Structure 1
């Protein structure tokens, strides 16, 4: 059972929680907001699981009663939005969720650099359910940050391999806005800057990373990165730099966090 012609729904979870029906914002109480958000983020879920996730501090009978009330109020106010299949709850398939669109774009960025400028814009300044501090929300926020980091690093790597070093630099910088100590992004930014002839900028960025890594974690950059930077000293030729830091065998590899 799905939306029964009562109007199309749209849900925003990025930036702020907002539900719209036929383009008009709908005021929804906090308890119902959390139920709808949980189903939008986690997908179809059993009632016991939802009750424990949304009301972890309450005994199971009380949590289930809170869930029952949230379901009742949501169904009464927003007929067609919730889909009930026994103990399993889900949202209507036609619901348009901004988080789902973002995740589709992240998946696209892992496979293609087409529309790189639009992808970069979409992946920046992403804040999932700001001001929500429940454990399940914090976990999803962290997971989304990690997915953005991987997608931006992969995008930067492919753009550099295609010779679009300016866009590669922008993607790497966007990744470093999320995690300043992400070594794969540091490597990509250094390479792209060198390939564009921005030698001072490339080495300054590396030195800042090296100093921050030492201050925050008490370790140095990986030997591989240090060796590659040293090989680039005095090498200002774009093609030579590309061969040094983008050997063909490394292209397409999964970006990895640097582990001391």
Structure 2
């Protein structure tokens, strides 16, 4: 294999991780990057390959800086990325930037799989959906991206749980539903799935106990009761508060 072919093969093995942590791997090598370069790659990575205007990127990544200083920070971050690996990671044009299409991003893979609704990928996808987007990062531009990711996670985890329940994969269905509950504890639809799993296994007591726990949570947090639909799922009598 000639050198150019090897470079292309290594580039196609580039992986950018944004779920649960930040990590860039090229080939089998973990690439160490300064924080400014990490922020740039993450900013480009959440845009699923779409180009971003240079000035807009600089202003969003360094909102506390003047325009010229932000532009200088962007140039430095680009230089840091190029210096850290000789393989293509960012495509930089005169006015726009984008992550190289040769870099695979876990967030993009998860979003694509969620929209395809492929039952064969359910258990793998449920694992990714359990991870937060760049936890502990405080950048303002992440707020909207996290909100989008959270909604995708919730809807997809519930759909996965229902499919797994229908297939008789009770443990996997329960794990997917509980992951959704961990993201949004008062979301009734996920709790309904947990109850449905218990009932499908013949565990009426577990179903009733889960209902009572959720009923108490709703009363404490919001001062409301579960919907009639949920209440009808479990056998009477229901615990009173």
* Pairwise TM-score range, normalised by the shorter structure: 0.7 to 0.9
Q: Which residue of 2 aligns with 1:105?
A: 113
Which sits farther off after the overlay, 43-52 or 164-173? 164-173
- Closer, same or farther: CA 16–211 of 1 in aligned 2, 3 Å: same
Is the alpha carbon distance of 1:70 and 1:115 closer, same or farther for their aligned partners in structure 2, counting shifts above 3 Å?
A: closer
What TM-score does the superposition give when structure 1 sets the normalisation length? 0.77
> Within 2, Cα distance between the matches of 1:41 and 1:4?
28
Choose which of 7, 10, 20 in structure 2 pairs with 1:5: 7
Q: 2:67 aligns with which of 50, 56, 60?
A: 60
Q: 1:163 to 1:74 in 2, by over 3 A?
A: closer
CA contact (8 A) 1:112 1:155 kept: no
SS in 2 for 1:89: strand
- Write the mapping of 1:8-47 to structure 2, written as runs, cut at 5 A: 8=11, 9-42=14-47, 43=49, 44-47=51-54
CA gap of 1:136–1:202, structure 2 versus 1, over 3 A, is same
Query: Residues of 2 paired with 1:132 and 1:166: CA distance?
Result: 33
Distance 1:81 1:113 in 2: 32
1:119 aligns with 2:125: yes
Hey, what does 1:245 align to over in structure 2? none
Cα shift readout 1:144-196 (whole Å, capped 9, x = no counterpart) = 23211111101122333445444433322222122221111111111221122
**Which of 116, 135, 141 does residue 140 from structure 2 map onto?**
135
Count of matched residue positions in the alignment of Structure 1 and Structure 2: 227
Partner residue, 2:81: 74
Change (3 A) 1:67 1:183: same
Q: Cα deviation per residue 1:105-164 (whole Å; 9 max; x = unaligned)? A: 3334xx24335433333433x132222111122432333232111111011223334454
In structure 2, relative to structure 1, the CA distance for the partners of 1:118 and 1:66 (3 Å cut) is closer
Query: Which residue of structure 2 aligns with residue 91 of structure 1?
Result: 99
Runs (4 or more) in structure 1 with deviation over 6 Å come to: none
Q: Does structure 2 retain, via aligned residues, the 8 Å contact 1:116–1:167?
A: no
Instruction: For residue 49 of structure 1, give the secondary structure of its aligned residue in structure 2.
Output: helix
The whole-number CA distance in structure 2 between the counterparts of 1:90 and 1:233 is: 58
Root mean square deviation, CA, Å: 2.5
1:230-241 pair list within 5 angstroms: 232-233=235-236
Distance 1:11 1:168, change over 3 A: closer
Q: What runs of 5+ residues in structure 1 fail to find an aligned partner?
A: 235-260
Distance 2:109 2:202 in 1: 37
